[in-house]
């Protein structure tokens, strides 16, 4: 074999090894290209698991911001009542976990505990409440000082229905169509129909059995359900809940709650039931706008089978479900800044239906092929924790 041939073979082998090395780097999200990564620990509320696990978002966080993020699952309520340390959810220091299981108490300031850099709630009321001093008389745990944060991912409450139902509601002057978007412009009238026990057949839908109803998750046990009932309370109160009008409207809302009957505990279960049982099973349900966009992207074939029959109704006004980020450390601040990245915001909307602009933003909605507005302009302010607690306790 000539020397020239040997050199050629060695060059070829070198190229193969280089390609294998590049592929390995790409398979590992490219983190090797940027040296060590800063690990950020985040206590995280539900409703955004797929978004947080998105490979492209993780790649952006690593390549552009040099961050490796660990998300621990927390319920919103436990962020108030339990010490916000990893050991509270069975992670971190095993010795401390064992002591907690044996009844020993720890705080966020205790030695040896695994602390968080940030909190990412799935409900604005818990974010607002976390920034207040803990009420020790109610058994609330000590808290970190919030350095920075705010509304990060937003999606409005909507009502999903079907063409036949919406056509009738338009005739009843409850729903109005504008620019191919359907708005519930007389929510009070629709609520009164439910409270009066009107049947679907009374408004011209003889094919549907039973009384008019809007299925929702239980506001007593479910954050989405509580947000929806907060919206109803705001509408009954003319947009401003006061000490006087809440006493008048709570009995009416409880009657509405009782007439609503069986409720699912999770919005995912309710949305799945809506899609699987169709018009006859769930004529109207309450959910988030993001659910349909997520469904359209994750199951395009199934979506195309039903999209001509589906209608999305936007209560006017509606209310935001806001996932809020609170940073406790400089590393938490870095992640908060990263979530404002335009590329991440684009993925949040196009794949998962989260709006990232504080006022709802402007979005390309044409790809979905349903009546979705580019911006959400008619909203009510999220209620404070005390008001929600009063509402939920009354419903109990």
Q: Please give the Cα distance from 46 to 76 (Å, whole number).
A: 8
Q: For the chain, give the percent of residues with pLDDT over 90.
A: 78
Q: Is 90 exceeded by the pLDDT of residue 25? A: no
Residue 335, domain member (yes or no)? no
Q: Please give the Cα distance from 268 to 54 (Å, whole number).
A: 19
Residue 330, domain member (yes or no)? no
Residue 331, domain member (yes or no)? no
* CB 60, CB 30: distance < 8 Å: no
pLDDT at 363: 67
pTM equals: 0.86
Residue 326, domain member (yes or no)? no
Mean pLDDT of the chain: 90
Please report, for the domain that includes residue 293, its CATH number: 3.40.190.10
**What are the start-end ranges of the E strands in 135-251?**
148-162, 175-178, 181-184
Mean pLDDT of 46-66: 96
Residues 193 and 217 in one domain: yes
- Per the structure, the count of domains in the chain is 2
pLDDT at 167: 97
Instruction: For residue 189, give its domain range.
Output: 155-320+363-395
Q: Please give the Cα distance from 394 to 396 (Å, whole number).
A: 5
Q: Please give the Cα distance from 253 to 238 (Å, whole number).
A: 14
Residue ending a domain, among 153, 177, 212, is 153
Residue 121, domain member (yes or no)? yes
Where residue 288 falls among pLDDT bands split at 50, 70, 90? very high
Residues 13 and 136 in one domain: yes
Residue 329, domain member (yes or no)? no
Residue entry with tokens 């206590």? 43
Q: Is 90 exceeded by the pLDDT of residue 13? A: no
Residues 209 and 97 in one domain: no
Mean pLDDT of 281-305: 94
Element (H, E) at 70: strand 67-73
């Amino acid at each position: 074999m000539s020397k020239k041939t040997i050199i050629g073979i060695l060059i070829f082998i070198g190229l193969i090894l280089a390609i294998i090395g590049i592929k390995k780097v790409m398979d590992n999200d490219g983190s090797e290209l940027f040296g060590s990564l800063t690990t950020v620990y985040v206590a995280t509320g539900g409703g955004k698991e797929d978004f947080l696990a998105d490979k492209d978002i993780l790649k952006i966080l690593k390549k552009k911001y040099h961050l490796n993020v660990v998300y621990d699952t927390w319920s919103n309520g436990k962020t108030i009542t339990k010490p916000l340390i990893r050991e509270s959810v069975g992670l971190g220091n095993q010795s401390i976990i064992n002591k907690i299981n044996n009844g020993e108490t720890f705080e966020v300031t205790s030695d040896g505990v695994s602390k968080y850099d940030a909190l990412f709630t799935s409900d604005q009321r818990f974010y607002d409440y976390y920034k207040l001093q803990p009420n020790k008389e109610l058994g609330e745990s000590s808290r970190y000082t919030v350095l920075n944060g705010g509304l990060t991912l937003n999606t409005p409450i909507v009502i999903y229905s079907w063409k036949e139902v919406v056509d009738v509601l338009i005739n009843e002057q409850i729903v109005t169509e504008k620019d191919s978007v359907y708005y519930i412009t007389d929510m009070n009238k629709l609520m009164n129909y439910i409270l009066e026990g009107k049947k679907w057949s009374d408004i011209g839908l003889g094919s549907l059995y039973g009384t008019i109803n809007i299925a929702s998750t239980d506001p007593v046990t479910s954050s989405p359900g509580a947000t929806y009932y907060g919206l109803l309370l705001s509408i009954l109160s003319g947009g401003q809940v006061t000490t006087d009008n809440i006493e008048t409207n709570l009995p009416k809302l409880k009657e509405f709650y009782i007439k609503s009957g069986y409720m699912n505990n999770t919005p995912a279960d309710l949305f799945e039931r809506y899609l699987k049982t169709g018009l006859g099973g769930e004529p109207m349900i309450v959910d988030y706008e993001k659910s349909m966009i997520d469904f359209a992207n994750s199951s395009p074939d199934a979506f195309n089978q039903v999209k001509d029959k589906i209608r999305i109704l936007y209560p006017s006004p509606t209310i935001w479900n806001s996932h809020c980020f609170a940073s406790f450390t400089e590393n938490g601040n870095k992640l908060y800044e990263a979530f404002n990245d335009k590329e991440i915001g684009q993925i949040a909307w196009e794949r998962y239906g989260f709006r990232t602009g504080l006022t709802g933003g402007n979005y390309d909605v044409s790809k979905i092929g349903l009546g979705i507005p580019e911006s959400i302009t008619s909203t009510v302010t999220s209620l404070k924790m005390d008001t929600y607690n009063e509402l939920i306790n009354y419903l109990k």
